[in-house]
Structures are given as structure tokens and as C-alpha cells.
């Protein structure tokens, strides 16, 4: 009986760490976070785990930008700055390989209306729906 429980724990552990990061707030396995930079500006970040593809990290950062825009009562957002790359981690107090995790960072400006100056602005509702369908994410 004890062996079976230990085996279940080990299998569960490997299953949990073999999956890519899902869309949600930042936690142990990654996720999104945001920081307000001004009344209508936010720095949005999505951090994946070692099993998350870089393009998925970008997509989830776009989805969070769209969701945040709608939550704040705006309809559009434009990307002021964007950075994508990998972040490496070595657990504190240990020696060994660095674990690489894809991360996407965007500074966005939220807009109530799309103007000529903001021709490259994204429609937040369209972006949110598109990525939710692509990744089968319910609201």
C-alpha cells in the first residue's frame, strides 16, 4: 500500500512538471503578471516553464493584455514596447544546469477609441476571443 502511494506521488509529480504553463496568474509553474505604469499604461509579463513554447508565451502575453484592457473598461490597446526571450534559473544554494523558461514582456497603452495616431492598436475583444479559441480557454 505504501509503495503504491509513493508511486502515485512520483507519477503525479512528473505529470505536473511535464506540462507547459497554462493561462493564469503567476504561480509556481509560471503565468502572467502586470504592473501599472500610468493611468492607461501597463507592463504585462507572461512567464512559461521549461515545457512552454516561446510562441505560446507571446500569445498568452497578448491574451493577458487584451483581458486586462477589457477589465479596465477600454476597447483597444497598442504595444509600446515588446521583449521576448528566455530567463534562466538555478535553484538557490545548488549547483547544476540552468533551467530556461520563455518569457514575454509588453508595455501596453490602453485606448477607448482607435485613432489615426494609434493605427496599430489591437481590438481587445477580437484578440481575447481569437486566443481563447486557439488554446481552448474558457473565460
37-69 pLDDT tens trace: 999 999 999 999 888 888 999 999 999 999 999
15-37 pLDDT tens trace: 444 456 778 888 878 899 999 99
Burial class of residue 136 in the structure, from the number of CB atoms within 10 Å of its CB (0-12 exposed, 13-18 middle, 19+ buried):
exposed
Torsion region of 92: left, alpha or beta (phi above 0 gives left; psi -120 to 50 gives alpha): beta
Q: Identify the pLDDT of residue 89.
A: 53
Is the CB of residue 23 less than 8 Å from the CB of residue 63?
Answer: yes
pTM for the complete prediction?
A: 0.78
Closest CA relative to residue 74, chosen from 22, 118, 138, 131? 118
Amino acid at each position: 500500500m505504501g509503495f503504491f502511494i509513493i508511486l502515485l506521488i512520483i507519477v503525479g509529480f512528473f505529470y505536473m512538471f511535464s506540462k507547459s504553463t497554462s493561462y493564469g496568474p503567476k504561480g509556481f509553474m509560471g503565468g502572467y503578471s502586470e504592473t501599472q505604469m500610468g493611468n492607461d499604461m501597463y507592463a504585462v509579463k507572461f512567464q512559461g516553464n521549461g515545457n512552454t513554447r516561446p510562441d505560446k508565451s507571446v500569445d498568452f502575453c497578448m491574451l493577458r493584455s487584451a483581458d486586462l484592457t477589457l477589465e479596465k473598461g477600454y476597447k483597444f490597446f497598442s504595444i509600446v514596447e515588446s521583449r521576448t526571450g528566455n530567463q534562466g534559473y538555478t535553484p538557490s544554494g545548488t549547483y547544476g544546469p540552468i533551467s530556461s523558461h520563455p518569457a514575454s514582456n509588453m508595455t501596453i497603452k490602453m485606448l477607448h477609441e482607435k485613432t489615426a495616431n494609434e493605427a496599430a492598436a489591437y481590438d481587445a475583444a477580437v484578440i481575447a476571443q481569437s486566443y481563447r479559441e486557439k488554446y481552448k480557454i474558457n473565460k
